[in-house]
Chain A
């Protein structure tokens, strides 16, 4: 029977039809791939199967004839005979549904799930149609809030174990559980322990009934009133694929799409519920010009001519180098390119950067050999020297957790402080900054004092040249200057030439921005300032004559009075730049600050001119995640007022200056990117949308093919073959492969080799001397660190972390301070601020932990830009 099956596949018969399947694949999945839908509730392809709902019973032939078996629990075997539509199966389905409906309230008209409910849909398709139940149903208190974001209605629950399995197995936050037994079974939280998981929204999405609902969406819309487009989340640099849904020009909901390479269907709560910020009534909707201490609305024409006048003045005062551009990582690739072209290609300054002092130098981001997430989770071993992944890129944490728990790879962690990856690590080393150099040089070479790390890597078969090793590189502790992480990475890259890097910085489009030249010294396509390609020279009026300044450099220069004009595009340096004191003092010095923003942020509210920008889902474009994978972003709603996409604003400024940037739509910007950048060759809007792919496109495009998986469904249970349900779901594109070479024959594989820029010598900063009486500083970021995005989202804003200072027991003892009491922190610049102390033994001895973004105190900045390592003094207040 298996003779005619393709290699590695076996043949089974389902309803008399022969289908091919992978050996060991679950019957329910094999049948679904062949177009035969078996109804289910508890089964989810990203969760371990439990077989509790019994909805997927089918007849399978065994030694004693056909018998009912759960298809979600049965791996296929060669020659297996299955019947999914017999009377016996139908009776079983009827029975299961009748039992499920015994206690399920029929409150569909007031239930948020009504219209997209798998229980509703599958009852209609497979159910008995009539109820014989006349008794009183079981009653529970109607929805109880199990967290600030999630409501639970236990009457509707069918105990499929999806949410509890997700919380336990995937997220590792088993805060919800089944309590009780039999018909008294309920899902609940332990008293006083709310469901505060960062991933709680996923349980709402996978709930097959309306038992779990999310507070930002409750009673906002009916599913049939929603329209949707596919997009990517831009909350962090992961680029999780999402479905953006709206009703009456208001965003209502994001749902996670299942992408093999990226998010596996999961989202973090910050990403999922951040849509509220876009709907915020506090948006900037018209250009605002400062008049004395107030702002007056002005027109685009007036604003643009003022901008151009200021550019002219700055140029007249010296040259274009008196102008600076601070770009925000929320910008799309198109926005980045347009602003880079305006700055570098029209005005001629290289003062363009997007690193708020919490990232890495663009030339290093562009130069390090990269890995993908999938490569990392299947590598021999992962070495992490990065910020707390769970706090910064939460869904990457889920991917790493899954891979480590399944034993696909092993993780080792080094760093100055405890990190949520420690719990997944095979070995963890607390390492001092002064030890990093010898660690990087000696790793896998000698039996150094961090032997345990080396031993794990060696036992995993990592070569002494770093073969098979993926390094997660980020900013482990923001109190340590980026030059340390950079030198460490360069040293590692040199010592282990085959190791590859996953640059785990959280800023959304840092990777795309860097690839497009939004960093000093770089041009689009990961190339250096001097390497002006023919294609670029053709389209750019000018190129900068010499390398410009980073954000830090621009701010220092501004403080000296050397900058007349600064454009802040989608960034908020006054709040976000690592040395907020420097940022505030510097921006106060600049003659004219233009802020292109969506809200009146710290920076905008003190700028001279504010230009209103379109937010996420209000414009189309592309974004690049930290792997270098490009995703499409689609417009769903129209921007309020006269907001414009950032790239149009750059174009308009150029036009006002008498130069045409040369594009009239975001897809034309992408065409130009593909034309001038080696890295982006072959990319186009039509190819990204028609061809692809929920998986995005990794640049440079692989010469083999862009593999296009059949699009994942919104929810695997929402497809019982009812036309209306199919329509709600995603358009299902067939499995297809787009061969980049043959697609239109325009790409020569040989020309696609991106040379890459050489890596500089590692440059270690001078050793920092700890001042007497000071403590070392752990300056970290939390998922809910304050930001414009969070403060403008009513539901998320409740979760913003309070400014707190965590200290260890011995420090507390020395100071005589208890949890809840107040301490005064004095930074190296002499600024001081008071914080509520929290004594915690997770903080290492002699350290103080502060959360970046949780406070903004004038005169106080625990991290100073000119210090390699920052220390603080702590006093009892």
Chain B
């Protein structure tokens, strides 16, 4: 146990405890780990596997499936430029080319200072502000080349740190959940509800003979 900070390890244990089957906490733990380091390192994956009592390969299998989980190092800001139809018509490809020039990396690459990773993305449902881009999943648009330069400058100088946290940080407040309700109690409650419903229906419809 060495990847998670003591604080995050506590959170991880709470997350694992939320589910009847440990491995259900896989994706929440991946988010937690990504929040800590910005991406899922092999070390993180091994520790998640240990916590869930499964193999690292199984964690990797799931993590590599989802685009929002990164198993390779990414920059502090993940810049995704949309080149889907609406944005394309609005100059999305030009924006991507410009971004590539400004940042000095081709799509998929990370700048040397570790600040930016550039991605080409499919429609992110921000078509009314085409051409658009997202930075750590926060929308910006419409973006002309000048607007993009300003955005990059703002990000570099920490002027947007309020609204755009570093990559991996979850916007959601960490959720705590009450202790798990045992299945028997759930079944019991369901039975009660069913009986109440049956009684109600029977009262409404005395002729139907219990038909629902």
Contacts and interface: CB of A to CB of B under 8 A. Distances in A.
A179 B65 CA distance: 7
Nearest to B42: A191
Of B46, B56, B57, B65, most buried by chain A (CB within 10 Å of CB) is B57
Q: Which 9 A-B pairs have the closest CB atoms?
A: A177-B61, A190-B56, A177-B57, A190-B57, A179-B64, A174-B55, A181-B65, A180-B64, A174-B58
Given A190-B42, A190-B55, A191-B42, 17 more contacts: A173-B55, A174-B55, A174-B58, A176-B57, A177-B55, A177-B57, A177-B60, A178-B61, A178-B65, A179-B61, A180-B65, A181-B65, A188-B57, A189-B57, A190-B56, A193-B56, A193-B57
A339 to B, nearest CB: 47
B57 A174 contact: yes
Q: Tell me if A's interface is mostly helix, strand, loop or mixed.
A: loop
A177 B57 CA distance: 6
Q: Which residue, B45, B55, B65, B66, has most C-beta atoms of chain A within 10 A?
A: B55
Nearest to A164: B61
A68 interface: no
Contacts of A178: 61, 65
24 contacts: A174-B54, A174-B55, A174-B57, A174-B58, A175-B55, A175-B57, A176-B57, A177-B55, A177-B58, A177-B60, A178-B61, A179-B60, A179-B65, A181-B65, A181-B66, A188-B57, A190-B45, A190-B55, A190-B56, A190-B60, A191-B42, A192-B42, A193-B56, A193-B57
A191 B55 CA distance: 12
A487 B64 CA distance: 55
Contacts, number: 39
Interface in B48-104: 54-58, 60-61, 64-66
A821 B61 CA distance: 37
A181 B66 CA distance: 8
Interface in A154-198: 168, 173-181, 188-193
Contacts of A180: 64-65
Main secondary structure of the interface of B (DSSP, over half): helix
Interface string B131-168: 00000000000000000000000000000000000000
Contacts of B61: 177-179
Contacts of B57: 174-177, 188-190, 193
Contacts of A193: 55-57
Nearest to B49: A190
Contacts of A174: 54-55, 57-58
Interface in B26-62: 42, 45-46, 54-58, 60-61
B56 to A, nearest CB: 4
A181 B62 CA distance: 10
A168 B57 CA distance: 11
A175 B54 CA distance: 10
Contacts of B42: 190-192
A106 B130 CA distance: 44
Interface string A355-386: 00000000000000000000000000000000
Nearest to B64: A179
Interface string A505-542: 00000000000000000000000000000000000000
- Of residues B60, B61, B66, which shows the largest number of chain A Cβ atoms within 10 Å of its Cβ? B61
Interface string A185-213: 00011111100000000000000000000
A173 B55 CA distance: 8
Contacts of B58: 168, 174, 177
Contacts of A177: 55, 57-58, 60-61
A58 B46 CA distance: 43
Interface in A580-626: none
A188 B60 CA distance: 10
Nearest to A189: B57
B67 to A, nearest CB: 8
A62 B105 CA distance: 55
Contacts of B65: 178-181
A840 to B, nearest CB: 15
B162 to A, nearest CB: 34
Interface string B94-126: 000000000000000000000000000000000
B39 to A, nearest CB: 15
B72 to A, nearest CB: 12
